[in-house]
Structure 1
Amino acid sequence: MKLAITYAILALIATVTNIGAQDGLLRLYSGPYAVPLSILVGTAVGLVVKYLLDKRYIFHFRAHNAAHDGQTFVLYTIMGLLTTAIFWGFEWGFHLAFESKEMRYLGGVIGLAIGYWIKYHLDKKYVFRQK
């Protein structure tokens, strides 16, 4: 139960970071492709934050060296492709359906919650395996 609560808190931190990065970009830029660009930037920021939090607090992972950490991050990112598609699908779907930033962000939060649940299981099995 403690692990689930910790994971939920860290997922919330990464979610706030993701949505915050999106909102920050949209406050600075409102030109062509602003919404897709904000989603991409938020995803990148959230990915790095989530990786750092997961490897330390969830999986207690220590890389052997920088190359090993880089390889692990690449594998972590690959596992995140499916979950990113879920997140983007919800966020973009809410954007198209409701045409408001609040609903787009709600779709993003829902998509991230579903994606993070799936991602935990993928990461446990394939990325941060215990040897």
Structure 2
Amino acid sequence: MNSPATPLSPTRLVTLYTLFAGIAILANIGSQKLSLLAYSGPFGVPLSVFVGTGGGLVLKFLLDKTWIFRYQHRDMSHGIQSFALYTVMGLATTAIFWAFEFGGDAMFHSEAARFIGGAIGLAIGYVVKYRLDKKFVFS
């Protein structure tokens, strides 16, 4: 890991952020699939989306904090505050993600369309989220 005084080059930043977004997308969609395999009853899809969103959020926070922003928390309380703010910044981007995921499901009525919509929504959301996080969470 580079020192905080040595910023990432734009190419490395985009490469790492894209890689980490891809990893978080796979974790999100994978968690959804596992959740649906474990429970497919009433409200199974919304529950799976919630599980996937939570798993992706925690993983992406840890990757962004460590590798993208190289951010050090002063103490546990500061770390909790940062995660809470990161989560709040993610509310708007989660709305984008959910709109695409549920939109894909509503339009095509298939799991594949829902997952593809979710992946597209996550990709768009991550671009927005980077800017919000840089300005408000890890500044």
TM-aligned CA deviation for residue 2 of structure 1? 1.0
Runs of 4+ in structure 1 over 2 Å off: none
Which residue of structure 2 aligns with residue 126 of structure 1? 136
Alignment equivalent of 1:6, drawn from 16, 21, 32: 16
- State the Cα RMSD in Å: 0.4
The separation in 2 between residues aligned to 1:16 and 1:94, in whole angstroms, is: 17
Q: Does 2:109 correspond to 1:96?
A: no
* Normalised TM-score (structure 1): 0.98
Q: Does 2:61 correspond to 1:56?
A: no
Alignment equivalent of 1:24, drawn from 18, 34, 41: 34
Structure 1, unaligned runs of 5 or more: none
* Normalised TM-score (structure 2): 0.92
SS at match of 1:30: coil
The separation in 2 between residues aligned to 1:85 and 1:52, in whole angstroms, is: 21
Which residue of structure 1 aligns with residue 3 of structure 2? none
TM-aligned CA deviation for residue 42 of structure 1? 0.3
Structure 2, unaligned runs of 5 or more: 1-10
Q: Does 2:101 correspond to 1:85?
A: no
The separation in 2 between residues aligned to 1:18 and 1:66, in whole angstroms, is: 26
The separation in 1 between residues aligned to 2:67 and 2:73, in whole angstroms, is: 14
SS at match of 2:119: helix
> What number of residue pairs does the alignment pair up?
129
TM-aligned CA deviation for residue 27 of structure 1? 0.7
The separation in 2 between residues aligned to 1:79 and 1:30, in whole angstroms, is: 30
